[in-house]
Amino acid sequence: MDQKLSVEKSLGQSRWRMADVDMNSVEQVVRRYDLPEVVARLLLARGVEAEMIPAFLNPTLKDNFPDPFSLAGMHEMAEGLAGAIENGKNIAIFGDFDVDGATSSATLFRYLKGLGIVAPIYIPDRLSEGYGPNIEALRKLKEQGTEILMMLDCGTTAFDVVQAGADMGLKIVILDHHEAEENLPSAWHIINPKRKDDTSGLTMLAAVGVTFMSCVAINNRLRERGFFKKNNIKEPDLRALLDIVALGTVCDMVPLTSINRLLVRLGLSMSTKTTNPGLLALMQVSGVTAPISTYDAGFALGPRINAGSRIHKADLGARLLCTDDPEEASNIAWMLNDCNDKRKDIQQQMEQEAIHMVESGNMQNDPLILVDHEDWHPGLAGLVAGRLKEKYAKPSCVVTYAHDLSGKKEGRGSGRSVPGIHIAQAFIDARAAGFLEKGGGHAMAGGFTVLPEKLPELREFLKNHIKAQIDSDTPQIETEIDGVLTVRGATTALISLLQDHIGPFGQNHAEPLFVFPNVRIVSVDVLKNSHVRVMISGEEGGARLKAMAFRAVGTPLGDALLKEAHKAFHIAGHLKLNEWQGRVTPEMHIQDAAFAKAESTPNLYADQSGA
C-alpha cells in the first residue's frame, strides 16, 4: 500500500520526506525473510538489496571482511613491516590525541606486543604541539633509537614534517584516513583509503580500521614467512582487538556502513567478554555495562578518553587502552573521569560565550559560523563547534589561540559540518590558497592552524566556499522519515529487532526515524528545567507511549508540546527500550513534530509493525 507524507514545514523548520520504495518488493521481502513490513521497507529504502539482507542482518568476519590487500600500497607495506619485524628493527608509534588516535595506537601496540615487541607511543600535546606530527617530536623519537615510525590517524598532509623525518633517517609509515591531495608526503609507506590511487572502496574507514586491516595484512605476511613457527610464537588474537577498534570507529563519526558496521557490530558485542583492563576500568568509571552500545561509546567512553588531551594529559587515553595492569587501568580511568568533569565546566562557559557572540553579531544568518576568543581552551574547540552546529544547523568553526614550539602565536580551529557540506575540503582549499598553515579532516569534521592576522581573510574565504557548496546543490532542509507507525505498533519486539539486527546505528546509517501521525498528548511536564516529557495516544485510543523531547524547553518544539497540548500532532522520533525495575517498555525520543492539519496528514495504513 502506498504512503505519502505532506509535512512541508515542521516545528523544526524541516520538510519531511520518505524514500520511494516499491511496495511489491517490500511484500516479497516480508514473505521471504519473515520480517515486519516496516523493517523490510527500511532495509530496501537504505539500499540493502533483497539478496543481501541475510548478510546485512547477521554479518561475519569470515564472509564479509574485505581483503586488506585491496588498499593501495598494502602489499608493499606489509612486506616491508614483516621484514622489519623479522630483523628486529626498533618501531615506535606516533598517534593523534583523539579517540581514533588513541584506539589506533592501542590496536597496533597490542598487536606488536603479541609479537614480542614493545613499541613506545608518542601522543602530541593538543595544547602545546597542536594537531598532527611535528619535527621536534620526531627528533626525540629518533634520539631514542627509533628506526621505523608508525604515524597513526595523521600525516597524510604533513609534507614538511615527514620530509624532515626522512632526512633524519626515519622510515615513516602513515596509516591514516584523512583527505589526501594529489601528491603524498615522502614516507616509506602510506596506507590511506582516500589516496587518489586507491580503488578499494573503503573510504569509510576510521584510522583505527585502517590500522586493524594493516595488522591483518602484516600478520598474513609473517605467517607466510614462517615467522611464528621459527620463533615459537603464538599468532596474536586479532579478534580480541575489535572492542577498541569498534570504540574508535564510533567515536570518529565515520560512516557506520559496510566494513565499519561489521567491525562495530562485532566489537561492541565482544565487550561482554573483553579482557582489556583499560576498557573494563573505563566502563566501570562511566557506569556502562556490557554490551557497550554506540551511545555508550560516543557519549560516555569516548569523551573521557578525549578529556585527557583537552587538559594537558594527551597520552592518558592510549596508556589506558594499552596497559595490562588492572590497578594502573583503574587509576588512569579515574584520572580521565576527573578530567572530563573539569572539561564540562569549561565547555559550558565557552558555549555560552560563543552563542552570545553569534547572536550579538547576527552570524546565524551567515552560511558559516566562525567565532574566536583569546581566553578559550584549545582542547574544547571541537566540542563547542559541534554544539553551535547543532543549535544553528550550519557548519561551525571555533578558533582558540596558543603558542607553537617556537613561541609564535597561532590560531587553532576546529570545524563541524552538516550533511551535504564537506568542511575538510574547505580547509584544504584554504591552505592551498595561503590562508592556513595546516588544514584537513573529513567531510563532517576537521581542524586547521591559522596565523591570527589572516583570520579575517580566512573567514570570508570559508563563507564563500561553503556558500558555493550550498548553491551548487540548491539544498533545502529535509528530514528523512523511515516509516510510519501507530502507537500500538511500537512494540518491544519491533524495537529489539531494530536494535539487534538493523543496528548498530551511526553516521550514514542513522537510527530509524518514525512518524506517529495524529497523536494526542495525554499528559505533559518538564524535567530538570530542560526536557519535555509527554504521554501520547493515537487516533485508535487505548495504547499509550511515553516520549521525551530532550533539551526542548524554550524551543519551538518544546513550546508547542507544552502550550498547545490540546492539538493533534504528527510526532517524529526514535524508538527505545526503557528498562526500569525489571520491566521493559517502549518509549520514544522526540526529534521533531508538526501540527496535524488536514492538508498535512499522512496517508497511512493502520499498523506497519507486523511484530
Mean pLDDT calculated for residue range 197-220 = 97
Does residue 599 have a pLDDT over 80? no
Query: Which of 69-78, 409-418, 466-475, 485-494 has the highest average model confidence (pLDDT)?
Result: 69-78
Task: List the single range of 60-69, 89-98, 338-347 with lowest mean pLDDT.
Answer: 338-347
Mean pLDDT calculated for residue range 234-246 = 96
Q: What are phi and psi of 410, to 5 degrees?
A: -145, 150
Q: What is the pLDDT of residue 478?
A: 75
Residues in the chain: 611
Give ranges for CATH 3.10.310.30 in the chain. 361-473
Mean pLDDT calculated for residue range 464-484 = 78
pLDDT digits (tens, 9 = 90+) for 260-317: 999 999 999 999 999 999 999 999 999 999 999 999 999 999 999 988 887 678 899 9
CA distances from residue 386 to 183, 382, 416, 446, 469 in whole angstroms, order as listed:
31, 6, 6, 11, 20
pLDDT digits (tens, 9 = 90+) for 1-50: 234 557 888 887 778 888 889 999 999 999 999 999 999 999 999 999 99
Spell out the SS3 assignment of 380-419: HHHHHHHHHHHHHCCCEEEEEEEECCCCCEEEEEEEECCC
Q: What is the pLDDT of residue 512?
A: 95
Give ranges for CATH 2.40.50.460 in the chain. 15-55+482-600
**Is CATH 3.20.20.70 the classification given to domain 361-473?**
no
Alpha carbon distance 232, 448 (integer Å): 47
Q: Return the amino acid letter for 296.
A: D
- Residue 598: partners with Cβ closer than 8 Å, 6 or more residues away: none
Burial 466-490 (b: 16+ CB within 10 A, else e): beebbeeeeeeeebebbbbbbbbbb
Mean pLDDT calculated for residue range 570-587 = 93
Sorting pLDDT into bands at 50, 70 and 90, what band is 448? very high
Mean pLDDT calculated for residue range 230-238 = 95
Q: What is the pLDDT of residue 604?
A: 40
Q: What is the pLDDT of residue 4?
A: 53
Does residue 475 have a pLDDT over 60? no
- Residue 443: partners with Cβ closer than 8 Å, 6 or more residues away: 417, 421, 422, 423, 424, 425
Alpha carbon distance 281, 384 (integer Å): 28
Nearest to 48 by CA among 427, 509, 574, 516: 509
Q: What is the pLDDT of residue 307?
A: 86
Q: What are phi and psi of 449, to 5 degrees?
A: -120, 130
Nearest to 536 by CA among 486, 584, 492: 486
Looking up cell 511484500 gives 27
Q: Return the amino acid letter for 165.
A: G
Q: What is the pLDDT of residue 226?
A: 96
Mean pLDDT calculated for residue range 231-250 = 96
Q: Return the amino acid letter for 271.
A: S
3-class SS of residue 448:
strand
Q: What is the pLDDT of residue 585?
A: 94
**Is CATH 3.90.1640.30 the classification given to domain 64-337?**
yes
Task: List the single range of 95-99, 174-178, 346-350, 420-424 with lowest mean pLDDT.
Answer: 420-424
Alpha carbon distance 384, 155 (integer Å): 25
**Contact between 510 and 257 (Cβ < 8 Å):** no
Q: Return the amino acid letter for 541.
A: G
DSSP string, 119-176: --EE---TTTT-SS--HHHHHHHHHTT-SEEEEES--TT-HHHHHHHHHHT-EEEEE-
Query: Any bridge partners for residue 438, and if so which?
Result: 449
Q: What is the pLDDT of residue 9?
A: 83
Sorting pLDDT into bands at 50, 70 and 90, what band is 519? very high
Q: What is the pLDDT of residue 367?
A: 93
Between 217 and 408, the higher pLDDT residue: 217
DSSP string, 555-602: SHHHHHHHH-TTS-EEEEEEEEEEEETTEEEEEEEEEEEEE--GGG--
3-class SS of residue 65:
coil
Is the peptide bond preceding residue 504 cis, with omega within 30 degrees of 0?
Answer: yes
Mean pLDDT calculated for residue range 506-528 = 92
Looking up cell 539487534 gives 500
Q: What is the pLDDT of residue 551?
A: 85
Q: What is the pLDDT of residue 408?
A: 83
494 grid coordinates: 519491533
Architecture per CATH, domain 15-55+482-600, reads as: Beta Barrel (2.40)
Q: What is the pTM of this model?
A: 0.80
Q: What is the pLDDT of residue 2?
A: 35
**Contact between 423 and 451 (Cβ < 8 Å):** no
R_g (Cα) of the chain, nearest Å: 25
Sorting pLDDT into bands at 50, 70 and 90, what band is 378? confident
Sorting pLDDT into bands at 50, 70 and 90, what band is 405? low
Q: What is the pLDDT of residue 422?
A: 87
Mean pLDDT calculated for residue range 532-550 = 90
Sorting pLDDT into bands at 50, 70 and 90, what band is 477? low
Q: Return the amino acid letter for 74.
A: M
Q: What are phi and psi of 332, to 5 degrees?
A: -65, -40
Q: Return the amino acid letter for 317.
A: G
Q: What is the pLDDT of residue 402?
A: 84
pLDDT digits (tens, 9 = 90+) for 302-320: 999 988 887 678 899 999 9
Does residue 464 have a pLDDT over 50? yes
Mean pLDDT calculated for residue range 491-509 = 91
Alpha carbon distance 185, 165 (integer Å): 11
pLDDT digits (tens, 9 = 90+) for 338-375: 988 988 888 999 999 999 999 999 998 899 999 999 99
Give ranges for CATH 3.90.1640.30 in the chain. 64-337
| Chain mean pLDDT for the chain | 91
Spell out the SS3 assignment of 5-58: CCCCCCCCCCEEEECCCCHHHHHHHHHHHCCCHHHHHHHHHCCCCHHHHHHHHC
Mean pLDDT calculated for residue range 410-424 = 88
Continuous segment of H or E residues that includes residue 54: helix 53-57
Sorting pLDDT into bands at 50, 70 and 90, what band is 253? confident
